[in-house]
Every structure is written in C-alpha cells, then in structure tokens.
Amino acid sequence: MTIEIFLVGVGTGNPRHITLQAVKQLKSADILIIPRKDNNKSDLANLRHQICKELLGDECPPLFEFDLPPRNNEKTYLESVDEWHDAIAEIWTDCIENAQKALKRRLNSVGLLIWGDPSLYDSSLRITKRLKPSTHVTIIPGITSFQALTAAHKITVNEIGQPFIITTGRQIANFGFPEGINTAIIMLDGNCTFKTLEQKKYHIWWGAYLGMEHEILIEGRLAEVSDMIIKARKNAREIHGWIMDTYMLRKKYS
C-alpha cells in the first residue's frame, strides 16, 4: 500500500524560520521520524525535538528515532553515496514498521524534518524513491543556510546583472573556483577549501550555526581572515562536537 512521505524544510535550526505551511504539514503526519548521527551530533536530533515541542505542542505526532549508518569512504564518492542511500532506505522502512507495531495501527503518512530546504544538498527525496512499498511524496520548502547567511551579513547574493553559483567544497577542491563567475556560495566544505585558492583575489562572508543562538559570523578579505575562520571553526567544533557552516566568495580584487 502507498504511504505518504512529508519532507518538510525546517530551516537552519531557528523555530522562527519555519513556515506555517510546514507546521501544518508536520501536525498532519501520523508519525515523525528523526535521525541520530552519533553522540557528537546529538544536538541535531535534540534541535528537531525542540522544534517539535515548541511549534507542534500537544498536536505533535509520535516521534521515532533511527540511527544513520556510516558511509563507506573506501569506495568512490558516488558508489559510497549510492550504497549509503540504499542502507538508509532500509532503515526508514524498519523504523516505519516498528512504529506501526508500537502504535498497533497502519500508518498513512510519515514526516521528516529536513534541515534547510529538501531540494538543496539533501538526499531524502532520492531515498524515498527506494522505499517499498511505493510512496507518495509531499515537499514543503524551507529557508536554506545560504539565505540565512546573506541575511545575517546583510548582503545580496548576486551583483547587478551577474550570475552566481551554488557549489560544494569538494567541487572547489577538484576544479577550483568556477570560471566566468564572480560569486559562489560554497556549502558542505569540511576542509576549509578556500585556503587552496589565490586568497588575495577574494572577499568572504562566512557563517556557522546560522540562525541558531550560537551563530558565528566572519567577513573580510580572504587573505586577511582565512586563518581566523579556520581557528573559529576548529574551536566551535570542539565546543559543540559538530559544526554546520556556509560561506560566500566573491572575486573583488585583482
């Protein structure tokens, strides 16, 4: 039988960034399932619980947690991600079946709280297509980290009449800064790949824990603030056990 999956964008961790549409959709689910990564990243699961408690209150559906499997990094990136998605789909299926047994009823809909927006660097939609039995998917958009970044720094993404690109640290590491583009939003960069560029040419707007109470912002000429960002990132990770950060680079200097 077909089950409805709600992929609900919940922004970057600030309950005030979540839309009324998202709240309504979450309340309508039979259950919500919440991923756990590891002990060092329990804050991410806790934030989802906090969002549910604050915004859904007594109308919050039952919550069920599941453990995300580790990714096999010994294979190529695409192979390891493909296998990882297969494994997560199996875990989702088990989680839903266990929830049905615990609640002693068949579930018609399951909700997941997705960081940022389900369309941007999130694999949940791909995973739903691997589920059996078949699923019907509803997507509720959310605020992305790069929107939170530009709002926090009070900047626009694009220059007048100019394009920009959203890319990853992996792409910058492999291919350098995109040709023919002055502005790039870089996400998923755990290695501070900006340090590999010709730093004197770029201006950077960096942010971590965007929208959260311990938000960190640094902005300036890359050559002058690069070490500051690397140090701040290292310290924050040691304090919190995890970090989410995003930055924008713009070619401004010759």
Q: State the residue for tokens 């756990």.
A: 36
- In angstroms, the CA 9 to CA 116 distance is 5
Write a three-state SS string for 17-77: HCCHHHHHHHHHCCEEEEEECCHHHHHHHHHHHHHHHHHHHHHCCCEEEEECCCCCCCCCH
On whether both 134 and 182 belong to a single domain, the answer is no
**CATH number of the domain bearing residue 89:** 3.40.1010.10
Sequence-distant contacts of 232-238: CB under 8 A, at least 24 apart = 232/208, 233/192, 233/208, 236/208, 236/209
Domain range for 225 is 146-251
pLDDT digit string (tens) for the chain, length 254 residues:
689 999 999 998 889 999 999 999 999 999 999 998 765 556 778 889 999 999 999 999 999 999 999 888 888 988 999 999 999 999 999 999 999 999 999 999 999 999 999 999 999 999 998 987 778 999 999 999 999 999 999 999 999 999 999 999 999 999 999 999 999 999 999 999 999 999 999 999 999 999 988 999 999 999 999 999 999 999 999 998 889 999 999 999 87
Asked if residue 176 and residue 102 are part of one domain, the reply reads no
pLDDT score for 42: 60
Claim to verify: residue 100 and residue 41 sit in the same structural domain = yes
| Number of domains forming the structure of the chain | 2
Write down the pLDDT at residue 8: 97
Collapsed DSSP state (helix, strand, coil) of residue 142: coil
Q: What backbone torsions phi and psi does residue 120 show, to the nearest 5 degrees?
A: -120, 110
Domain stops at, among 143, 171, 195: 143
Q: Which of 78, 108, 143 is the endpoint of a domain? A: 143
- Point out the domain boundary residue: 93, 125, 143: 143
What does the pLDDT read at residue 135?
85
- Cα–Cα nearest to 152, from 164, 143, 162: 143
Tell me, yes or no, whether 136 and 215 share the same domain: no
pLDDT of residue 4: 94
Burial class (CB in 10 A: 0-12, 13-18, 19+), 160: exposed
Residue with tokens 């989702």: 92
Contact 7, 125 (CB under 8 A): yes
Q: 78: number of CA atoms within 13 Å, CB side?
A: 0
Q: What is the pTM of this model?
A: 0.89
Residues 30 and 133 in one domain: yes
Joined together, the tokens standing for residue 226 give 């690069």
Instruction: Please give the full DSSP string across 85-127, using - where no structure is assigned.
Output: HHHHHHHHHHHHHHHHHHHTS--SEEEEEESB-TTSS--HHHH
